Amino acid sequence: MPVLSLDAPPARFYFHWRSGRLRAVGWHPPERGIASPWPTELSGPMNAIRDYFTRPTRLERVPLALEGSAFQLRVWEALRAIPPGETRTYGELAVLLGSGARAVGNACRRNPCPIVVPCHRVLARNGIGGYAGARGGELLAIKRWLLRHEGVGI
């Protein structure tokens, strides 16, 4: 299971792959080595992710290996339907999914593939909300950068 790194404007990201599918994105170096150069079979999806940081596009062609509850999978699918440059509130997604805003927030917090599953596009009703369980610091700065990069005024 290779781990590939990518230096992007807001941070260095680590992409964890299994059988050609993305299973996690992280901000901290993994315990074991990072594959370099990128394996040929992953160069297409990694190039798409790298290109996102130049020109925000949908990353729907990046194959995923998501593991979560049925509800989490529904939330993550709804997140992937939000186009770059658009946002939704936790409440709006809750209505769409027949759930509560807090449950949507919890599913976003457990999103294993941020950026590709764009939980940064989900905002609180009256503010930016959190990111990956953080209410401040480096992670919230990354969310702000991603939103500005996509043209969202915050």
Whole-angstrom distance, CA of residue 91 vs CA of residue 82: 14
Q: What angle do CA 79, 121, 5 make, to 5 degrees?
A: 85
CA dihedral for 69, 75, 81, 83, sign (positive or negative): negative
Whole-angstrom distance, CA of residue 124 vs CA of residue 39: 39
Tell me how far CA of residue 71 lies from CA of 100, 103, 119, 135, 136, in angstroms.
Answer: 11, 9, 15, 23, 26
Alpha-helix residue ranges (DSSP H) falling in the chain:
40-52, 70-80, 90-97, 101-109, 137-149
**What are the residue numbers of the active site?**
119
